[in-house]
Structure 1
Amino acid sequence: MQFGQDREESRMKNTRLLKGFVILATAFCLSLSANAAGGKLIEMLVNDTGVLELLGKRGIKGAPAKKVSEYVSQSILSISYSNKKPAASELRKIITSIVGSDVDNVYKKQLMELLDTPAEKVTKDDLVTAVNNLIYLSNRFGKRGSTVLACAECVSEALSKHGFKFTLEVLNDKSSKRVLTQVLPREPRQLTTFISKEMSKGGLGDYSRTAARTNLVSPEEERALGLFLGLRKYGSKKQKELADAIVKVSKDSSGDTTLLSRENPHKLWKLFSEDMSDEVMDSWTKMLKEVGEKSDGSDGSAKKAFYEYLERVAGDDPVLREQLSALKRKNCFFK
């Protein structure tokens, strides 16, 4: 009799525990659901799943969404004070602490205004702006990582169509990683000074005057320019050969070497913003040597020689012709 009573009490106790567990679990799930639906944008950005959810609900899915999620994660890690992704509150402090130029501060102000927006009220344009600005600030003020900003239109038409302006490329090439992590200063003003000194020492022109006068280098491109200059000194044999070929294209109408020429402008130094195999670099070097020989430094002569070479290579091949048309349309290296 006692045994049966004990068993019944045990059963009732277990039933109460089970009901309690179900209630707690249900409340927990409801809490998660509420947080996902009612969290702020900044809370979603520090969560990979949250980023993908936001993108998906705004029509950005598949491979483009995955790439954007990776860019967001890399950007946050880059500006973090430690080697791990910060919590939302810490990320807010990091961004708040950024002090930069007038252009930098515009990006910062726009981002700060969006971060506290409830996730369900974030429009697609808001989300794209937040991601663009986060990548920009990470590229300018990032503390770690071998990352460099690239133009979204040149990297991915799919991303560009959604309004993304920037991508954050992680370079794995040994020499590029060394330049990005050990040679280039992290602070924007020091980076500008580095570029100015390297251009002066390398006989490539006066950066302090040229950049302001011609607007050939925007703030977000300085790291890519610094990478090019660093690889001229610390790059592999193939990288140095390609860098030298780019320099040979960089002439003004007087025949003087000017990397940032108003008469003969180009941005071929941005080639190093992504990893390239030796074979690809050899192809670029061969082409740019010929472009340099045929360009006299007059208005647009480098651009003309560049596309004439590609026209000849493309011939009547429809695939190559389409690729050439896309290159012209994107204006990746010439305006």
Structure 2
Amino acid sequence: MSLKRLGRVLLVLAFITSTNASVLKLADVLVRSVELKSHIVSVGVNGASVNRLKSFVQTSVNSLVQDSDKGLYQVVKSLPVSGSDIKKKQRLLRLLKKRSSSVKSNEFVKAVNDIIFLADRYGQNAVTTLSCSVCVSDQLSALGFKTSIRNVGNKKIKHALKRIPSSPRKLYAFNSRRLKSLGIANSNLKYVGEEDAKTLALFLELASRGDAKYKKLTKSIIKFNTKKGKVHLAGPDAPSSLWKLVGYKISDEKAEKWARVISSSLEQKSDRKRISSFYDNLLKETKGDSVKTEKVRKMRANNCFFN
């Protein structure tokens, strides 16, 4: 083939590729690895955060689609949402239908936040947990990506998650019953955001029906959050949001470590000294591991669990 002819072929291929890219819907982009990564970069994400966000989206899509023959749009359309989740679903459907080339950066952020949230709530056989994006990536948090999502491998956590309902109304009722059984005021719920409701449910489920390791952890957190005989898990009087720890990659070993760290910090009387002791104790646990030590220092700088 002559160079001139080869040049024409390459030009045609480039045109076809460009044309295909221009007609791709956002729903297509979210299920295509290369296009997804490219779109993530286009909204200002860079470095290690690109692959992190990509994995969150892929985990969400896989949780929703599973082995379904339907496309992502149809799967989302068929989700049995209710209450405040209806708006999220409707907004996501509108964005999924848009040409990817016309999706603005802030719309992409909303779409990702919505698909992560809905996947966590309604994904088939969903055994996922949400957690704050700050501790995962300052950059993602700054760009507006609220939460991260991860698959849960711990069998005990999987079983607990499967007992937690999806709909907002049933989830609220579940949390209300669990709080009552633990002797904690129901008023805590008005301070719990919708993205944290399932994590709270997991915490309360472990506190009620978990094994000894998880009950020890949840008991130490409840004690940390007790002021003048009242438990404040959320709201302006809550000393911490340490209950969100169960939304991270928790294991039996980590549950024991966290319980040990929190229990040691309870030797201090004031909230300020307890928080300082918490991070000091955590640093001792990570001594000799530079990567984990840096993570703890980052947590301390962001005041994670104590904002």
Relative to the length of structure 2, the TM-score reads 0.81
Q: Work out the CA distance in 2 between the residues paired with 1:322 and 1:93.
A: 42
- 1:107 partnered with 2:85: no
Task: From 27, 32, 42, give the equivalent of 1:42.
Answer: 27
- Residues 1:194 and 2:174 aligned together: yes
1:87 aligns with 2:78: no
Which position in structure 1 is the counterpart of 2:188?
A: 210
1:302: how far off?
3.5
Q: Which residue of 2 aligns with 1:250?
A: 225
- Contact 1:267–1:333 (Cα < 8 Å) also in 2: yes
1:281 paired residue among 249, 255, 268 = 255
3-state SS in 1 of match to 2:149: strand
Partners in 2 of 1:269 and 1:110 — Cα distance? Answer: 30
Q: CA 1:33 to 1:274, structure 2 compared with 1: closer, same or farther past 3 Å?
A: same
Aligned residues: CA RMSD:
3.3
Amino acid in structure 1 at the alignment position of 2:168: P
User: Is this contact kept in 2: 1:245–1:289, CA < 8 A?
Assistant: yes
Gaps of 5+ in 2: 1-8
Aligned counterpart in structure 2 of residue 228 of structure 1, from 191, 200, 203: 203
Give the AA of the match of 1:42: A
1:271–1:106 Cα change, 3 Å: same
Higher Cα radius of gyration:
1
CA contact (8 A) 1:46 1:87 kept: no
User: Unpaired runs of 5+ in structure 1?
Assistant: 1-22, 296-300
SS in 2 for 1:230: helix
TM-score between both structures, scaled by the size of structure 1: 0.75
The answer to whether the 8 A contact 2:82-2:168 is kept is no
* TM-aligned CA distance change 1:171 to 1:85, over 3 Å: farther
Amino acid at match of 2:113: N
1:263 correspondence with 2:237: yes
**1:203-222 per-position Cα deviation (integer Å, ceiling 9, x unaligned):** 1222xx3322xx2x101101
CA distance in 2, matches of 1:309, 1:120: 47
Alpha-carbon distance in 2 for matches of 1:134, 1:261: 27
Change (3 A) 1:173 1:329: same
List 4+ stretches of structure 1 deviating above 6 A: 26-30, 319-322
Q: 1:75 to 1:294 in 2, by over 3 A?
A: same
Q: Which of 109, 115, 119 pairs up with 1:134?
A: 115
Given that 1:150 and 1:167 are in contact with CA atoms closer than 8 Å, whether structure 2 keeps it comes out as yes
Per-residue deviation, residues 270-326 of structure 1 (Å, max 9, x unmatched): 11112234443333212211333434xxxxx435412234347759x9x79965553
Match of 2:274 in 1: 305
- Measured against aligned partners, the alpha-carbon deviations of 1:200-253 in whole angstroms (never above 9, x if no partner) come to 0111222xx3322xx2x1011011011111222443432222112112212122
Q: CA distance change for structure 1 residues 46 and 303 in 2, over 3 Å: closer, same or farther?
A: farther
Judging by fraction of residues, say which structure has more helix. Answer: 1
